[in-house]
Structure 1
Amino acid sequence: MEFSIIFIIGLAICICYYVGESVKFIKLPSLIGHMLVGILFGASLLHLIDETQLEHLSFITEIALGFIALIIGLELDFKSLKQYGKSIILIILSESFLAFFVVAIAIYFLTSDLAMGLLFGAMAPASAPAGTVAVIREYKAKGSLTKALYAVVGFDDGLAIIIFAFASTFAYNILSKESSSSNISVLTTILLPLKEIGLSIVLGIISGFLMSFIIRKSKKINNLLIIIFGSILIITGISISLHISLILTNVIAGLVIANTRNESLIMNIKQQINPIIQIMLVLFFFLAGAHLDLAKLPQLGVIGLIYIISRSVGLMGGASLGAILGGAEEKIKKFLGMGILSQAGVAIGLALIVKQNISKIGTNHATEIAISVLTIITATSIIFEIIGPILTKFALIKSGEIDKE
């Protein structure tokens, strides 16, 4: 008998709950349990969900990311951010660029291949906000480090895309010299990501003001959930259709709402969204686990290990440097870098872009690099998706923003 995908998802949610509660006994965030259930159900073990079904369920991941991004935006009110706004900007710049340079240099020294170094460096700044947000919400973290984490994971992917655009362009130019058949446009490679970011910001601002206006006009406070849910679907759907960042768009929309409505109304919105977010996070990490193929782990090799180490050093060192230059609190200097290591969807998406574009060059060298980038980034994402939330929890405990268990 072939089980319905609805039955499998329902069974998975129930098992996720119990496994999520169980891993708490060994001091792990529940999302690790949810990912383990996904790995069990996915291609790595039981094969209850195949690649085709995962493709059909991708809309759940996209909706979940929309909710997560809006929640991040709702936390970014200018009043509370103003006291360390300068340090946040410096942290984002420093951690992104240092991660790029440390990884690029490390891979170059290992392989003596500048194009490969640039492409792996271009992957390094991209983060995955879902893990950080899930840990913050599960343990009800509050404080300056929590606020700083929301801001950094909300905006650093925008800079990551810009760094990727420039670094990958240089790499393409190097590889193109090996083939006269290459027709990759340098200008297009640079302008497309800039257009993506610009459109995301514009759509986010417009959507945020429209949502804020509708919320203000709403007569029944209980209707807020319906309005918010529908609006997130619309914003996320438009972002996907325009091929722009649904994360950045929803973050900006949430930021606009947070700074145009009073605090009590924002609290009411958060309370109404909370049950939906809990279900979305369970589904998100279950599907993330189902996507992970443990068979790829042996393909990590030396390059993969160097990438993991150098990216971690670059992000944590860069975050500390930015915090020092910006005069941030001591706990932000020490611990913020631990909360931004998660990496998944955005980086894998960028790796797919590399593979698609480099295939146009047509040389064996270019093809080998493309395959290496996609394979290794996919494999290292498994590691970062596991250690990222664990280190986020550790950082929040050490900073005193969640209770020790």
Structure 2
Amino acid sequence: MLYSLAFILLSGIIIQLLCKKLNIPSLIGFILVGILLGPAVLNVLDPTLLNISADIRQIVLIIILTRAGLSLDLKDLKKVGRPAILLSFVPASFEILGVMVFAPLLLGVSLMDAAILGAVLGAVSPAVVVPRMITLIHDKFGTKKGIPQLVLAGSSVDDIYALILFSSFLSLSQSGEFNLINLLSLPLSILSGVLIGFLSGYLLSKFFEKIHLKPLIQVLILLSLSFVLVSIEDSFANLPFSGILAVMSLAIMLYRQIPEQAEKISQLYNTLWIPGEIFLFILVGASVNIQYAFSAGFLPILVILFALGIRMIGTWLSLIGTDLDSKEKTFTLIAYLPKATVQAAIGGVPLAMGLPAGELILTMSVLAILITAPLGAFGIDFSYRKLLTDDS
């Protein structure tokens, strides 16, 4: 495994430098390297590492969300309240409905399989969106109207909404009975995650104020507490609690209570993101099955593109009544396109459960990553200076 770890890090660093010179988002290079190193092509990565890749991706997701929380001010969140709530479920709902319309027509799948596919595809990628929104907040682009904060807040709940629908649709497919309890648990999961996160952040901030520790030790404590919060959600599947939201809320409260210390902690998390980004996207690329992708043909791509178009309508409707102009709304549409993390995590679940459309769902999860992650990353990186105001 050590050989594989070294291979991933060194190849990732080389690709990052190359992408920087070519002025393209490095995640594109990471995904392509992952495909090359993975089982589908060269197969040089240790299978043991691939077996724990989901755990590694979850750790990186925790780092991403903590960075987001350490950059969000509660005042900014209050300013973007209503549209952030709408963005947390309206675009995903529109995309799921779009898949449910087009997938049966073009791919011949059942309506139930289309609903499962839509829930897999419906989640936006925090791995693509969060680092870029943090950069915009730091560089003060669109911050007076709270645009990066709006995208951060909405996208964090968007994932939980899509995951709960995915679980409910899977339950219906397996048992023939829709699990209404799972759906009704959504607001409870959000509320409990936010409250427990805020409480944990408040208590931790008081601890850091009384006991002076080096920033690195504070980071280790914060990471450990974050792991515990996410593990609670994983260990108690029936508990209406979002560990992901709790982690983000914890970081938001730290920023509110101890801003100076939170800034130092944030700098170390920025450092952790450097290897984290490399591992996340190379391992996502390594999970790609090229044979599935090529055998699927062009129709799955059409479904993905049609559904994205409908998603953009939902995103635009969520912004009606705000003070955003057409350029700023266009930027939000672009920022809400990319897929990666959730699709990589759950795309293979239907296949493992023996669903008839499992192979197709996995293939389309991979295609969605390959199409939308570069599209969203490119779109955000090359449009924000033209579409957002410089508030510095």
- Residue identity in the other structure for 1:220: L
Partners of 1:287 and 1:353 in 2: CA distance: 17
Partners of 1:285 and 1:374 in 2: CA distance: 17
Paired residues, number? 380
The answer to whether the Cα contact below 8 Å between 1:91 and 1:322 also exists between their aligned partners in 2 is yes
Partners of 1:191 and 1:137 in 2: CA distance: 32
Q: How does 1:85-234 map to 2 (within 5 A)?
A: 85-110=81-106, 111=108, 113-136=110-133, 141-143=139-141, 144=143, 145-165=147-167, 172=173, 182=175, 186-187=179-180, 190=183, 200-201=193-194, 203-222=196-215, 223-234=217-228
CA drift at 1:262: 4.0
Structure-2 residue corresponding to 1:77: 73
The answer to whether the Cα contact below 8 Å between 1:166 and 1:190 also exists between their aligned partners in 2 is yes
- Residue identity in the other structure for 2:91: E
Partners of 2:347 and 2:16 in 1: CA distance: 31
Mean Cα displacement is larger for which, 387-396 or 40-49?
Answer: 387-396
SS where residue 319 of structure 2 aligns? Answer: helix
Partners of 1:399 and 1:293 in 2: CA distance: 37
Structure-2 residue corresponding to 1:41: 37
1:369 aligns with 2:357: yes
Distance verdict in 2 for CA 1:15–1:108, change over 3 Å: closer
The answer to whether the Cα contact below 8 Å between 1:20 and 1:32 also exists between their aligned partners in 2 is no
The answer to whether the Cα contact below 8 Å between 2:347 and 2:361 also exists between their aligned partners in 1 is yes
Partners of 1:168 and 1:61 in 2: CA distance: 23
Match of 2:229 among 231, 235, 238: 235
The answer to whether the Cα contact below 8 Å between 2:126 and 2:156 also exists between their aligned partners in 1 is yes
- Residue identity in the other structure for 1:318: G
Partners of 2:164 and 2:213 in 1: CA distance: 42
CA drift at 1:79: 0.9
The answer to whether the Cα contact below 8 Å between 1:339 and 1:391 also exists between their aligned partners in 2 is yes
Distance verdict in 2 for CA 1:322–1:15, change over 3 Å: same
CA drift at 1:67: 0.9
Match of 1:392 among 375, 380, 390: 380
CA drift at 1:70: 1.2
Distance verdict in 2 for CA 1:46–1:280, change over 3 Å: same
Distance verdict in 2 for CA 1:35–1:141, change over 3 Å: farther
Structure-1 residue corresponding to 2:275: 279
SS where residue 325 of structure 1 aligns? Answer: coil
| Runs of 5+ unmatched residues, structure 1 | 177-181, 360-366
Distance verdict in 2 for CA 1:114–1:45, change over 3 Å: closer
Partners of 1:220 and 1:325 in 2: CA distance: 46
How big is each residue's C-alpha offset from its partner over 1:341-370, in whole Å with a ceiling of 9 and x where there is no partner? Answer: 22234235444554566x5xxxxxxx4233
The answer to whether the Cα contact below 8 Å between 2:121 and 2:368 also exists between their aligned partners in 1 is no
How big is each residue's C-alpha offset from its partner over 1:85-108, in whole Å with a ceiling of 9 and x where there is no partner? Answer: 222222333312222222222223
Partners of 2:313 and 2:71 in 1: CA distance: 25
Partners of 1:93 and 1:329 in 2: CA distance: 22
Distance verdict in 2 for CA 1:230–1:114, change over 3 Å: closer
Structure-2 residue corresponding to 1:288: 284
How big is each residue's C-alpha offset from its partner over 1:123-175, in whole Å with a ceiling of 9 and x where there is no partner? Answer: 33212201122344578653333222222222211222344355556x63xxx
Q: How does 1:322-361 map to 2 (within 5 A)?
A: 322-355=318-351, 359=354
Distance verdict in 2 for CA 1:136–1:199, change over 3 Å: closer
CA drift at 1:73: 1.9
The answer to whether the Cα contact below 8 Å between 2:169 and 2:178 also exists between their aligned partners in 1 is no
Q: Sequence identity of aligned pairs in percent?
A: 23
TM-score (norm 1): 0.81
TM-score (norm 2): 0.83
Q: What is the CA RMSD across the aligned residues, in angstroms? A: 3.1
The answer to whether the Cα contact below 8 Å between 2:133 and 2:149 also exists between their aligned partners in 1 is no
The answer to whether the Cα contact below 8 Å between 2:69 and 2:252 also exists between their aligned partners in 1 is yes
1:55 aligns with 2:71: no
Distance verdict in 2 for CA 1:194–1:136, change over 3 Å: closer
The answer to whether the Cα contact below 8 Å between 1:73 and 1:253 also exists between their aligned partners in 2 is yes
Distance verdict in 2 for CA 1:209–1:307, change over 3 Å: farther
Structure-1 residue corresponding to 2:304: 308
Partners of 2:24 and 2:133 in 1: CA distance: 13
The answer to whether the Cα contact below 8 Å between 2:100 and 2:115 also exists between their aligned partners in 1 is yes
CA drift at 1:313: 1.0
Structure-2 residue corresponding to 1:179: none
The answer to whether the Cα contact below 8 Å between 1:304 and 1:380 also exists between their aligned partners in 2 is no
